[in-house]
Amino acid sequence: MAAPAPALDPGNDPSFAELLAQRPHLSRHAHDGLVMEDVPLARIAEVVGSPTWVYSAGTLRRRARALRTALADAGLTATVHFATKANDNLAVLALLGHEGLGADVVSEGELRGARAAGIPASAIVFSGVGKSEREIRLALAEGIMQINAESIEEIAMISEIAAGMGRTAPVAIRVNPDVDAKTHAKITTGLSENKFGVAYDDALALYARMAALPGIRPIGIATHIGSQITVGMGAYRAAYARLAELVRAIRAQGLPIERIDCGGGLGIAYRDEIAPAPAALAGAIKAELGALGLPVMLEPGRWIAGPAGVLLSRVILQKQGAARRFVVLDAAMNDLLRPAMYDPWHGILPVAPAALVAPTAPADVVGPVCESSDCFARDRALPDLPPGALVALLDAGAYGATMSSTYNARPLAAEVLVDGARFAVVRDRQSYEALHTGQRLPDWLTG
Ligand code: LLP
């Protein structure tokens, strides 16, 4: 298991200016305060209310292009499949689809979302440790590009369903390379103790068995070792080296193999992490897998969408506790769950122009939900934030809205896409009526 992250020294936190310098889509205007692309965040809050997720279209495009370019520059034949679990807003998916990205999905809901956003099934890969019969059926009926199978049990199930439908399922085997990605224990997936993939030592025999089954076209192998990987390319290289060895063994048995799925996991700098550049990942793939001459696939989520989004929230009140100042926001852990789950550091910027340059003092930034883990930041240097002040929680474009819930009967927040000087609501704020849609009283309670 990865060790828990050591406590961070607030004295080393990046300043507001440093946070802004690393996020080109955000800037401070003397009059409008914090601006995303050309839209003042205060204007969005005024029109749409808060809390609201706000995404930068320019950043999504820039990052999608940067990844594709890095892979092409390394001389790789590669396709990029956005992990829709990171952000499944249809507008975001459509935008990324226009950039030539496919999708990586893990459920019927995600498959439907990607298709509704215009991503063709021929560019969609279906991952996940447990796919239901219904999901496999739908994927095959749609003409999915690839199913990543994670066990012999699942492969047998796919074979039976496909054969019954008179179809051929394009299947890759997800291999667990038993490599430590050195990330948070809750998002490590490539260790033998994790539930993901088939054991490396069993993979070859399984591939051979799969090739002999009806209704299956053996497409290749896949891996995904974890998420928010920041410490160099060592873990990736180790995993890809094992994949290369496996491809050679597969070929030595005369079995067909068409491509390699290299997974996602590329980390971003939330605070001061050294986030690897796409060129480094492309280089690692080229170095370990390039000689095989096979096309590769990538399934990034966070790297593309994370930095592109903020959670815009309004201060309800500031309260002076016995030992510390609490800034209570109208956003909470039901909106952005990451802090409660992984103790990450998310930058927080005030939106008002004066607040961005005002003197600061430590504060805990919390939400109104009745849990101590409903805390976005501890000991954060922030200016006075009176009731009504706006703040932006940074790098919330991935695993933000997709992980939110209605806990404490709090409606799901609205989502907005900013593109240059224009912005659009791309998801309405959930209404209070909708909160209880589908619930009903049994007749023995109504009489
Ligand atoms: N492919 C597979 C099979 C995955 O399981 C994942 C993420 C990805 C691709 C995309 O990984 P990314 O490039 O985004 O790192 N909720 C957590 C992250 C969970 C990631 C799960 N799998 C968080 O908020 O940090």
* pLDDT value of residue 11: 83
Amino acid 187: pLDDT: 72
Spot the catalytic one: 252, 323, 370, 409.
Answer: 370
Name the pLDDT band for 186 (thresholds 50, 70, 90). confident
The chain-wide mean pLDDT, for the chain, equals 95
pLDDT digits (tens, 9 = 90+) for 415-439: 999 999 999 999 999 999 999 999 9
Label residue 160 exposed, middle or buried (CB < 10 Å: 0-12, 13-18, 19+). Answer: middle
Report the nearest-CA residue for atom 5 of ligand 1. Answer: 224
Q: Report whether the peptide linkage leading into residue 383 is cis, meaning its omega lies within 30 degrees of zero.
A: no
Closest Cα to atom 22 of ligand 1: 227
pLDDT surpasses 60 at 164: yes
Which atom of ligand 1 has the smallest separation from the CA of 187?
19
Q: How confident is the model at residue 361 (pLDDT cuts 50, 70, 90)?
A: very high
- The percentage of the chain sitting over the pLDDT mark of 70, rounded to a whole number, equals 98
Structure confidence at residue 7 as a pLDDT band (50, 70, 90): low
What is the SS3 assignment for 426? Answer: strand
Distance, CA 375 to ligand 1 centroid (Å)?
23
Query: Has residue 320 got a pLDDT over 90?
Result: yes
pLDDT of residue 6: 53
Residue nearest to atom 23 of ligand 1 (CA): 399
pTM of the model: 0.96
Which ligand 1 atom is at minimum distance from the Cα of 301?
14
Q: Tell me how far the alpha carbon of residue 225 lies from the centroid of ligand 1, in angstroms.
A: 9
Of all protein residues, the one whose alpha carbon is nearest to atom 16 of ligand 1 is 399
Residue nearest to atom 7 of ligand 1 (CA): 227
Output the CA–CA distances (angstroms, integers) from residue 260 to 65, 295, 419, in the order listed: 21, 7, 34
The angle subtended at Cα 369 by Cα 363 and Cα 375, nearest 5°, is 30
Burial of residue 293 (number of CB atoms within 10 Å: 0-12, 13-18, 19+): exposed
267 Cα nearest atom in ligand 1: 15
Cα(264) to centroid(ligand 1), Å: 7
Is residue 311 within 8 A of residue 266, CB to CB? The reply is: no
Q: Specify the pLDDT at position 191.
A: 78
| Minimum CA distance residue for ligand 1 atom 19 | 187
Selection from 216, 219, 214, 217 nearest residue 257 by Cα: 219
Give Cα separations from 222 to 74, 296, 300, 413, 444 (angstroms): 20, 10, 13, 35, 52
In the block, residue with structure tokens 């215009």: 118
Pocket test for ligand 1, best of 67, 84, 85 (most atoms within 8 A of CB): 85
Atom of ligand 1 nearest to the CA of 148: 3
Question: Is the per-residue pLDDT at 1 higher than 50?
Answer: no
Q: Assign 262 to helix, strand or coil.
A: coil
Q: How far is the CA of 265 from the centre of ligand 1 (A)?
A: 6
For residue 303, the ligand 1 atom closest to its alpha carbon is: 13
Query: Which residues have C-beta within 8 Å of that of residue 428, sequence separation ≥ 6?
Result: 414
Distance 86 CA to ligand 1 centre (A): 7
Secondary structure letter of residue 226 according to DSSP: B
| CA-closest candidate to residue 74, choices 261, 232, 282 | 282
Residue 120 has a CB neighbour count (10 Å cut-off) of 15
301 CA distance to ligand 1 middle (Å): 6
CA of 266 to the centre of ligand 1 (A): 9
Query: What is the per-residue pLDDT across 114-162, written as a single tens digit (0 to 9) for each?
Result: 999 999 999 999 999 899 999 999 999 999 999 999 999 999 999 999 9
pLDDT: which is higher, 182 or 71:
71
**Confidence (pLDDT) at 350:** 98
Helices (H), 328-384: 338-342
Whether 370 is catalytic is yes
Residue 125 contacts residue 149 (beta carbons within 8 Å): no
N residues, the chain: 447
* Residues forming a β-bridge with 328: 317, 366
- List pocket residues of ligand 1, CB cut-off 6 Å: 83, 86, 104, 127, 187, 224, 227-228, 263-266, 299-303, 338, 342, 398-399
Residue 3's pLDDT is: 45
Please give the radius of gyration of the chain, using alpha carbons only, rounded to the nearest integer: 23
